[in-house]
Structures are given as structure tokens and as C-alpha cells.
């Protein structure tokens, strides 16, 4: 009996050969992490020796070996027949009496502890499973809500048989595992009543980019199988590890998924999947404290195993406690070379058909093949794009054949997402309208190269691919920084050689994510346009205070970029919309006046202290204060645009101080844009007020030369290398250096023109910021300029 059953609390990670990766990991956590306060449900392992005894007592070794020997290992034409034969023999075999006795005794022990006949999860745990480089995700069978000795014994036998699922046989062959040596253990674990609460999946790194400082937590109502199977689009929470460790507010992003299904226990045993009530679909399944608890546990588990981990969690609806029910190594990014990066970019645009979560970074094209089940897999031609509702492990062989995968359901931790990453396929999951907009035969282009959202375009579009190797790349002494707007690109871009973000544009976040004019939120009751009010009510329905909607959304976006580049500086430019751009926001027309020349009108610093926008600026400052002080991201700095006079700068700084943002406190630095000739002419006075300058070369050029930068007629006259513009730039750099103030430049010219980069470096500029597509060329020009 001793070799047939082992309680979790007697197992360690080195017992993989006895009980498989899943059970060894559970034992390791029960022994080593339970004392740290991490809750692991109790249970026991039916060992690999028990499986071998089962085979031996039923004379099954010969059947297994002969059947595997007959397998067509080239075309796998008889894979299904081989699988069915082995499984059929196992399922009709008798469990040896001594194993029955051992399982009964151990199950009764769990029931005695619980004080009732216990529901258990019965999970397969193969002896090669959950090793780095091979996830075995869903290859073998597991069963939930199993109650009673007879049902338990039946499911143990079914787990044994699942070692020879067709998908598992093929997976082991593809991964190079010896088909005769592998054995199967079964884990029997007390069920957490997540059917009455929630559950989900955790990755201790950001799974798309491999960014190591973030924990991704996903969650749904009921049992977590809906997330694993991809049957729902779950909630997502992104936790920043350094903030977590400092005891700061660590959740840098929260997103509610649709969660249309809730899997619960069936009173007849097993589970049933119900429709989630519409009102409940919008609610987040975890509060902030629960998210941070799971984040702390995930970090502790990762530190213990010394590698990124893929973890399953559950919340018990009876006692409201959180539990960790599984943990395995993350298998995708552990083997990647961080210095090699392939970059993709569309070079033409098309009609957008559908969007969802992007899995894998890249672009591909092909014809859609819509399939309902793996039984139709023979219909998929090589290089076609598979379109279906959800996938399960039976889809795995066909997923390797597809040019890409699109599912209408599922999130970034679903089966389709995990397997797509493992086989290196592009996927878009949770594309909710895909089944309505895409049909078999449609020629489409999939763009997964522009952030977290994957896009499906009509037709075959052109794109370019660039291979980067950063190993040994020479960096300049002058800091190369990013110009960045989209938080979805932040983690990807953080892997490029850089010294932080010299300009984060707030306007992108306001227009794409928030969409509402801040004054319309501050004065919602005074809005006259009913359509605007209805839209605002819809967008803000999860917020009792509509102003909090603006602060929360802005803080999350800014925090994501600040976290991606931490501890390097991220300089956030406060809003710099023109009045015509502000009026395009929801509710904006009521708060903006028509201007003949918005470029020279009510913009930048002038707005911040004016009664027509002061309350909006207060919301911007509240978001900055939250990111810096509550989240602990003190690498965030701020910058004031279009500040016409030192007197205006003083007004803005006094207002910011009254709002809790004072230069020098908590390391805060406040810069001013040098983009108006007055900023240069009175540079000494501006330097006395601000901590540094950022030269906005576009506005400075147009205002020095009197040339509209958007004019096609005057395009040839717009030139940053004009002597007048170069004098302006050299002068403000001279003053900044004399005053001991930092100064950088944001613009395209240093990447397009090596001589301009040389000029800036000769003047002693501290940093140059580039758009992402120009960064590497810019660094090359900077290195060359410093060499000369």
C-alpha cells in the first residue's frame, strides 16, 4: 500500500517519477508553501507504481506495447485506432483489490477530515508532465465534483486510460518522449466550492511578451474549466511585482471579461455549464485585496520554484477563502533568447473585420476555414486560418497545421492561447463577432503586431519583417528614449535597448480608452445632449463617481507604461489636445469654443489653471498622484506643454502643488516643453521654475519659421536643420546646461538625419526620444555621432 498511495504532504518536487509533475508540485507546495499562508486543498496521489500494477495484473503491457509498435509514426493514419484499442482494454480491466483498498482508505481519510462525504477532483499527472518545454496542457483527462468510492474508482481507471488519448500519444511523439517509459499517476484533491464563487489562472510573467515584473491573473464565475477550455472571456488583472513587494497598490490594470458561462456542480455528479446572468457578467470576480493576495502567493510560488509559473486558483463560496489548486512551470518564454526579436509592421491598411486578444506577435495571411469540431479537421488545408468557437486538446494536431487560429471565445490563458504559444502559431482569441463576420473562403490578414489586441483585416495586406539581434549592441552615452502613446505596446517595447520614455502622450489614452471630455464628467448633471449622457452612463456604469472613471482609466494606462520601463524614467506630458480635438470627445462640444487657429489657441498650460478646464486638469493630476504615490511608481515624471510665459508656468506649478504634486516630493520632477520661441528667449526664467526641458522640435520649428507643419504647400520650408531653428535648440541646451537642468529632444529628425543627431550631441543634449519604428536607427546615428 505504501507504494500505491502517497498523501500530498509526503511528496516533494523530486517525486515526479513516482507521481508525475502535477502531483509532485502539489506535494511540494503543501510541504513548503502552506506554512507561508498559501492555501492548498488536501489530497493524495495514486502513484505510477499503482498504474504499473494495474497494467501488470490485467496483462496489459503486451497490448500497449504491440499497439504502439503498430503506430504509423509518419502520417499517423492509424492514430485513432491505436488509441481506441488501448483505451478500450484499460477501461474494461479490473482495478487490483489492493489498489481499491488503498484508494478507499485514503478517500475515507479525506472525508473524515471534512466531516462529510467529500467531492474531489480527479486529475491525471503523467510522469513526464509539467516539465519546462512541454506543458502537456489538457492532453490527459481530469474529472471534477466526483463523490463516493465507486465514482472515484471509475475515474481513476479513466485517468489511466487517458494516457493513451490520441492527442497525448501524438504530443509525446512530437516532444520526443519515450512512448514505453511514461506512466500515469492520479491526483485526488478536495474540491474547492468555486462553483459558488470564482476561479481562474495565473501567469507569473506577462504571457505574450515574457515581461517578468508582472503577474497576470484571470478569473471567471464558477469553476475554472471555462477559462482553460476557452468557453468564456475572463476578467484580467495585471499586478506589478515591485509595487506588490513594497506594499503599494500593485494592480496596474483591470479589465472585466464577458464571462457568459458559469460552470457549477451538478446535483447528479459532475458539472453543468449555465448562462451567467447579464448583470453578473459585468461584475469583477475578485476585489482588489483578493487580487493582491493571489499576486503575493504567485510571486512566492515563483520564487520557490525559481522559474516562471502557470498556476490555477479557486475561491470557495462557502468560506470565501482563496486556494491554489495547481502550479506548473511556464513553458513558452523559459527557452527564449531575450536578445533576439522579430518585428512586424503592416505597410498598408484594410477593412477591419474583427478583433480579439492577440496571441503571439506577428502578421500572417490566409483563407478562413470555419470548423465546428476536430472531427472536421481533415477539411483544413495547410496555411488556412482555423476559425471556431473554442478549442480543446483534441484540436491540438490541427492547430499545428493552421496558419493561424481565431476563436470567438476564450482569453489569454485559455487552451487555445496556451497551445498556440507552444506551437508558435498566431492566434486571436475572444473575437466575439468573428463567427458573424468571417466565412470559409474569406481571404484575410491577421495583425498581431500592434499590441494586446489582434486585428483581422479583409484581403491580403502587405507587411514588413525585421530581425533584431540586441546582443552586444553598442549604446550611446546620450540617452535614447521612446516617444510612446499606446500602453498595449509598452511591455513589448521594454525589451528594446532604451533608457526609458522621454515623452508619453496622454492624448492617446484619453481619446482611445477614456473617450469622454473630463469636464463632462465633472459636470454630468449639466449636460444638455441626451445622447452624450446616455453614452457616458454606459461607459461609467461600474463607477459610482463618474470622475473616478477618468482617474482610474488614466492611472491604469499610465501605470502600465511606467511599470514596463521601471526604474527608468517615464515622462508623461499632461494633456495637449487643441480645442477642436477636445470637442470631439463625448460631451466635449458643450465645453469647447470654436477657434480659428486651435494650434495657437486654448491649449497646453493655459488650459490647466483656467476655469473652463481647471477641474479636468485636477483629474489628470489625481491620476498621476495615484500612480506615483499609491502604486509606488516614482519613476513617473511629468511635463507641461505649450507654456507661453514663466508667469504661466508659475501658475501651473502652484496649482499642481495645491493638488498634491510638488516638485521634489517623492522624487517628483516637473519639466517644461521647449517648443515656443519664448521658452528659449526666457530659458533662464523657465529653468528657475522647472526641473528640466524637453525640446518639441515640431512646434519649435513651425513657430520659429512661421510654417504650418501640416501644410503641403509649405512642406519644403519646414526644416529642423534651418539655422534659425538650430540656434534656438543650441541656445536652450546652453542655458539648461549652465543651470544644471536636464534637457532632451523629442522628434523624428535625429533618426532621419545623422547630421542632426551629431549636432544635438555636440551641443551636449542629455537624451533624444524616438518613435518606436525609429529608435534603432536613431541609436545607430547617436553612436556614430559620439564616435566622431
Cα–Cα distances (Å) from 363 to 381, 465, 466, 559, 721, in that order, read 19, 9, 12, 28, 37
With H, G, I as helix, E, B as strand and everything else as coil, classify residue 529. Answer: coil
Element of type H or E holding 636: strand 636-640
With H, G, I as helix, E, B as strand and everything else as coil, classify residue 70. Answer: coil
Average pLDDT over the chain, rounded to whole? Answer: 92
| Residues 166 and 275 grouped into a single domain | no
* Mean pLDDT along residues 167-188: 81
| Residues 284 and 346 grouped into a single domain | no
| Residues 32 and 143 grouped into a single domain | yes
| Residues 251 and 316 grouped into a single domain | yes
| Residues 346 and 375 grouped into a single domain | yes
CB atoms within 10 A of CB 593: 10
| Residues 177 and 227 grouped into a single domain | no
Is it the case that residue 152 has pLDDT exceeding 70?
yes
pLDDT, tens digit, 9 for 90 and up, residues 72-90: 888 888 988 999 999 999 9
Distance between CA atoms of residues 161 and 60, nearest Å: 11
Cβ neighbours for 80, distance < 8 A, ≥ 6 positions apart:
166
Cβ neighbours for 289, distance < 8 A, ≥ 6 positions apart:
none
User: What's the pLDDT at 132?
Assistant: 46
Cβ neighbours for 226, distance < 8 A, ≥ 6 positions apart:
220, 232, 234, 261, 262, 263, 273
pTM: 0.89
User: What's the pLDDT at 41?
Assistant: 95
Distance between CA atoms of residues 612 and 482, nearest Å: 32
Q: Residue 503's domain spans which residues?
A: 473-787
| Residues 322 and 341 grouped into a single domain | no
| Residues 70 and 97 grouped into a single domain | yes
With H, G, I as helix, E, B as strand and everything else as coil, classify residue 655. Answer: helix
| Residues 667 and 736 grouped into a single domain | yes
Domain's final residue, options 133, 163, 191: 191
Percent of the chain exceeding pLDDT 90 equals 74
pLDDT, tens digit, 9 for 90 and up, residues 17-48: 899 988 999 999 999 999 999 999 999 999 99
SS (HEC) of 360-404: CCCEEEEEEEECCCHHHHHHCCCCCEEEECCCCHHHHHHHHHCCE
Give 85: exposed, middle or buried? Use CB within 10 Å, 0-12, 13-18, 19+: middle
Q: Could you tell me the pLDDT band of residue 255, with boundaries at 50, 70 and 90? A: very high
Among 255-264, 372-381, 614-623, the range scoring the smallest mean pLDDT is 372-381
User: What's the pLDDT at 136?
Assistant: 54
Is it the case that residue 710 has pLDDT exceeding 90?
no
| Residues 353 and 290 grouped into a single domain | no
Domain's final residue, options 282, 304, 330: 330
Is it the case that residue 316 has pLDDT exceeding 90?
yes
Q: Is 523 a catalytic residue?
A: no
With H, G, I as helix, E, B as strand and everything else as coil, classify residue 222. Answer: strand
Cβ neighbours for 454, distance < 8 A, ≥ 6 positions apart:
355, 356, 357, 358, 359, 426, 427, 428, 431, 446, 447, 448
CATH code of the domain in which 89 resides:
3.30.1490.20
The total domain count for the chain is 4
Of 39, 140, 333, 415, which one is the catalytic site residue?
A: 415
Beta bridge partners of 142: 123
CATH code of the domain in which 483 resides:
3.20.20.60
Domain's final residue, options 150, 168, 191: 191
pLDDT, tens digit, 9 for 90 and up, residues 583-593: 999 999 999 99
User: What's the pLDDT at 178?
Assistant: 65
| Residues 433 and 458 grouped into a single domain | yes
pLDDT, tens digit, 9 for 90 and up, residues 94-148: 999 999 999 999 999 999 998 999 999 999 998 865 444 444 556 888 898 999 9
Expressed in angstroms, the distance from the first to the final Cα of the chain is: 78
| Residues 633 and 765 grouped into a single domain | yes
CATH code of the domain in which 281 resides:
3.30.470.20
Q: Is 746 a catalytic residue?
A: yes
Q: Could you tell me the pLDDT band of residue 752, with boundaries at 50, 70 and 90? A: confident
pLDDT, tens digit, 9 for 90 and up, residues 360-398: 889 999 999 999 988 888 899 888 999 999 887 777 777
Element of type H or E holding 457: strand 453-458
Q: Could you tell me the pLDDT band of residue 546, with boundaries at 50, 70 and 90? A: very high
SS (HEC) of 675-738: CCHHHHHCHHHHHHHCCEEEEEHHHHHHHHHCCCCCCCCCHHHCCCCCHHHHHHHHHHHHHHHH
Of 159, 220, 621, 746, which one is the catalytic site residue?
A: 746
CB 300 within 8 A of CB 33: yes
CATH code of the domain in which 455 resides:
3.50.30.10
Among 228-237, 286-295, 619-628, the range scoring the smallest mean pLDDT is 228-237
User: What's the pLDDT at 563?
Assistant: 98
Amino acid at each position: 500500500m505504501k507504494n500505491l498511495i502517497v498523501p500530498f504532504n509526503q511528496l516533494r518536487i523530486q517525486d515526479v517519477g513516482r507521481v508525475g509533475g502535477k502531483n509532485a508540485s502539489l506535494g511540494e507546495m503543501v510541504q513548503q508553501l502552506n506554512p507561508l499562508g498559501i492555501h492548498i486543498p488536501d489530497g493524495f496521489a495514486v502513484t505510477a507504481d499503482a498504474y504499473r500494477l494495474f497494467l501488470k495484473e490485467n496483462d496489459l503491457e503486451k497490448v500497449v506495447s504491440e499497439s504502439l509498435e503498430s503506430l504509423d509514426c509518419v502520417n499517423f493514419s492509424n492514430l485513432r485506432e491505436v488509441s481506441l484499442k488501448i483505451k478500450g482494454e484499460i477501461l474494461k480491466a479490473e482495478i487490483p483489490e489492493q489498489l481499491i483498498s488503498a484508494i478507499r482508505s485514503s478517500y475515507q481519510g479525506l472525508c473524515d477530515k471534512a466531516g462529510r462525504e467529500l467531492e474531489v477532483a480527479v486529475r491525471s499527472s503523467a510522469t513526464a508532465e509539467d516539465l519546462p518545454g512541454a506543458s502537456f496542457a489538457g492532453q490527459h483527462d481530469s474529472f471534477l465534483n466526483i463523490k463516493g468510492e465507486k465514482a472515484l474508482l471509475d475515474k481513476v481507471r479513466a485517468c489511466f486510460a487517458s494516457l493513451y488519448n490520441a492527442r497525448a500519444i501524438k504530443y509525446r511523439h512530437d516532444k520526443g518522449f519515450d512512448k514505453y517509459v511514461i506512466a500515469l499517476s492520479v491526483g485526488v484533491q478536495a474540491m474547492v466550492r468555486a462553483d459558488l464563487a470564482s476561479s481562474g489562472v495565473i501567469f507569473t510573467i506577462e504571457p505574450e511578451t515574457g515581461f517578468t515584473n508582472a503577474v497576470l491573473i484571470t478569473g471567471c464565475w464558477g469553476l475554472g474549466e471555462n477559462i482553460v477550455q476557452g468557453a468564456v472571456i475572463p476578467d484580467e488583472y495585471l499586478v506589478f511585482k515591485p509595487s506588490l513587494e513594497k506594499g503599494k497598490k500593485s494592480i496596474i490594470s483591470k479589465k472585466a471579461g464577458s464571462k457568459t458561462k458559469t460552470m457549477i456542480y451538478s446535483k447528479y455528479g459532475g458539472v453543468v455549464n449555465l448562462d451567467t446572468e447579464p448583470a453578473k457578467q459585468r461584475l469583477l470576480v475578485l476585489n482588489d485585496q483578493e487580487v493582491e493576495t493571489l499576486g503575493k502567493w504567485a510571486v512566492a510560488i515563483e520564487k520557490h520554484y525559481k522559474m516562471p509559473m502557470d498556476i490555477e486558483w479557486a475561491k470557495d463560496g462557502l468560506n470565501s477563502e482563496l486556494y491554489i489548486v495547481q502550479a506548473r512551470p511556464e513553458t513558452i518564454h523559459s527557452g527564449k533568447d531575450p536578445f533576439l526579436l522579430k518585428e512586424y509592421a503592416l505597410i498598408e491598411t484594410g477593412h477591419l473585420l474583427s478583433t480579439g486578444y492577440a496571441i503571439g506577435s506577428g502578421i500572417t495571411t490566409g483563407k478562413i476555414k470555419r470548423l465546428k469540431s476536430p472531427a472536421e479537421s481533415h477539411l483544413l488545408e495547410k496555411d488556412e486560418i482555423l476559425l471556431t468557437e473554442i478549442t480543446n486538446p483534441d484540436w491540438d494536431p490541427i492547430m499545428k497545421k493552421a496558419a493561424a487560429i481565431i476563436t470567438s471565445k476564450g482569453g489569454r490563458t485559455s487552451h487555445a492561447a496556451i497551445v498556440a504559444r507552444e506551437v508558435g502559431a498566431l492566434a486571436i482569441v475572444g473575437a466575439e463577432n468573428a463567427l458573424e463576420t468571417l466565412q470559409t473562403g474569406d481571404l484575410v490578414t491577421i495583425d498581431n503586431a500592434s499590441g494586446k489586441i489582434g486585428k483581422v483585416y479583409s484581403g491580403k495586406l502587405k507587411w514588413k519583417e525585421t530581425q533584431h539581434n540586441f546582443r552586444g549592441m553598442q549604446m550611446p552615452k546620450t540617452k535614447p528614449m521612446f516617444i510612446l502613446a499606446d500602453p498595449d505596446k509598452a511591455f513589448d517595447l521594454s525589451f528594446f535597448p532604451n533608457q526609458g520614455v522621454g515623452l508619453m502622450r496622454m492624448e492617446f489614452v484619453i481619446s482611445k480608452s477614456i473617450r469622454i471630455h473630463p469636464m463632462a464628467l465633472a459636470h454630468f448633471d449639466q449636460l444638455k445632449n441626451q445622447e452624450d449622457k446616455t453614452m457616458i452612463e454606459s461607459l461609467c456604469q461600474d463607477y459610482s463617481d463618474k470622475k473616478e472613471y477618468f482617474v482610474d482609466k488614466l492611472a491604469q494606462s499610465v501605470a502600465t507604461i511606467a511599470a514596463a520601463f521601471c526604474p527608468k524614467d517615464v515622462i508623461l506630458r499632461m494633456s495637449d489636445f487643441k480645442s477642436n480635438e477636445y470637442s470631439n470627445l463625448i460631451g466635449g462640444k458643450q465645453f469647447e469654443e470654436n477657434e480659428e487657429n486651435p494650434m495657437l489657441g486654448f491649449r497646453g498650460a493655459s488650459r490647466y489653471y483656467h476655469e473652463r478646464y481647471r477641474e479636468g486638469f485636477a483629474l489628470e493630476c489625481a491620476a498621476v498622484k495615484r500612480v506615483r504615490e499609491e502604486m509606488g511608481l516614482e519613476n513617473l515624471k511629468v511635463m507641461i506643454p505649450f507654456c507661453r510665459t514663466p508667469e504661466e508656468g508659475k501658475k501651473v506649478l502652484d496649482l499642481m502643488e495645491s493638488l498634491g504634486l510638488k516638485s521634489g516630493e517623492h522624487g517628483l520632477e516637473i519639466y517644461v516643453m521647449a517648443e515656443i520661441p519664448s521658452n528659449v528667449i526666457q530659458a533662464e526664467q523657465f529653468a528657475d521654475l522647472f526641473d528640466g526641458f524637453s525640446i518639441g522640435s515640431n512646434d519649435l520649428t513651425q513657430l520659429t519659421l512661421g510654417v504650418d507643419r501640416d501644410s503641403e504647400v509649405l512642406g519644403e520650408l519646414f526644416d529642423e536643420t534651418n539655422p534659425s531653428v538650430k540656434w534656438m535648440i543650441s541656445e536652450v541646451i546652453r542655458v539648461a546646461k549652465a543651470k544644471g537642468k536636464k534637457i532632451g529632444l523629442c522628434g523624428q529628425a535625429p533618426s532621419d538625419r545623422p547630421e542632426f543627431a551629431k549636432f544635438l550631441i555636440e551641443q551636449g543634449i542629455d537624451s533624444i526620444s524616438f518613435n518606436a519604428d525609429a529608435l534603432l536607427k536613431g541609436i545607430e546615428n547617436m553612436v556614430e555621432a559620439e564616435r566622431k
